[in-house]
Amino acid sequence: MSFPRRQFLRAGLGLTAASALPFAAGCAALPGAGPSGTRVSEGVYRARVGSATITAIADGVAVRPLADGFVRNASLAQVQQALSDAGLPTDKLTIPFTAFVVENEGKRILIDAGNGEFGAPTSGQVVNNLKAAGFAPESFDHVLISHFHGDHINGLRNKAGQLVYPKARIHVPAPEWDFWMSDANMAKAPDAMKGAFQAPRRVFGPIAGQVERFKPGAEVAPGIVSMDAFGHTPGHTAYAVMSGGQTWVFLADFANVAQLFVRNPDWAVMFDMNAEMARQTRRRLLEQAIAQDWLVSGYHMPFPAIGRIARRGAGYDFLPMG
């Protein structure tokens, strides 16, 4: 864990003052919540974190039939019970995708890029929702990527081969780059995984020399610090913004469906490449989120995918804003 502890302590000390700030009205306050947010449109939700603005941008959803093996270490019956306890259908999973815009210190930053033209027909809405939020794709200074799974990077380049955020500097975790761009790793991957190596090659191949690779723990854009969150993929990385005594952390794929994997943090989704490391990372981040009263986001959390973590029994709940 390389995040500067001093800054977290400072963030924690500011919470009492933060909760008294008159943020946009109209949202039920969560217990202990400081900021509240505003729904701009169906797929756009905006919250303040100190002097930074965080905007959730829906990319849509993917629906998949629930099958044995989605959770590697729980039976189908246990998974169905957890879904039923949460009031969700037990025969299928609806998995949302949400990217984020951070406006901080005069810069506009996109975190993760959605499915673009390469996902389910019910996804690929990032650019439309950016426009609904008033953000032209050409207006971005930086794009930060959490990891190289296709649902997070395919939106960077369209089918015609054009970069969707042509003026942005693209920042990626170095260990993620090293793993996925290695031809040796692709050659030795099982056949079922080879396709996953194609997305980063398509997206980054033509601009390999311009992509900025950072070591997780570094400050990567104005006021945004990266945090290693390895396990889901070898270089999976979270991003934190601290401003005005508040902290927001984008936890990316620290957990898939919240009602399964935040609720049962020891369960492993089939997409976690190193399930044990992902489990330890998930537990560490969930505990930190509570101890330091983070506002958190997850790429697959229920929209607006901004909320807080609360402890419940041996697990946790994700409590979305709005």
Q: 295 with 247: CB under 8 angstroms?
A: yes
Question: Which CB sits closer to Zn ion, 113 or 309?
Answer: 113
Question: Which CB sits closer to Zn ion, 151 or 272?
Answer: 151
Question: Which CB sits closer to Zn ion, 151 or 228?
Answer: 151
- The full length of the chain comes to 322
Going residue by residue from 245 to 284, which x/- string records binding to Zn ion, judged by CB under 5 A?
A: --------x-------------------------------
**Is 176 among the residues that bind Zn ion (CB under 5 A)?**
no
Looking at 27-35, 118-126, 151-159, 284-292, which segment touches Zn ion (CB under 5 A)? 151-159
Query: Residue from 59, 112, 151, 176 that binds Zn ion (CB under 5 A)?
Result: 151
Q: 302 with 320: CB under 8 angstroms?
A: yes
Looking at 113-121, 148-156, 179-187, 194-202, which segment touches Zn ion (CB under 5 A)? 148-156
Looking at 5-13, 83-91, 116-124, 150-158, which segment touches Zn ion (CB under 5 A)? 150-158
Least distance (Å) between residue 300 CB and Zn ion: 6
Least distance (Å) between residue 5 CB and Zn ion: 29
Angle at 142 between CA 131 and CA 53, to 5 degrees: 60
Place of tokens 């950072």: 214
Question: Which CB sits closer to Zn ion, 148 or 204?
Answer: 148
What's the CA gap between 150 and 81, in Å, rounded? 30
By rule CB under 5 A, what count of residues binds Zn ion? 3
What's the CA gap between 55 and 47, in Å, rounded? 6
Which of 102, 19, 70 is CA-nearest to residue 264? 70
Angle at 148 between CA 145 and CA 153, to 5 degrees: 65
Question: Which CB sits closer to Zn ion, 149 or 157?
Answer: 149
Least distance (Å) between residue 35 CB and Zn ion: 25
Going residue by residue from 105 to 144, which x/- string records binding to Zn ion, judged by CB under 5 A?
A: ----------------------------------------
Q: Which positions touch Zn ion (CB under 5 A)?
A: 149, 151, 253
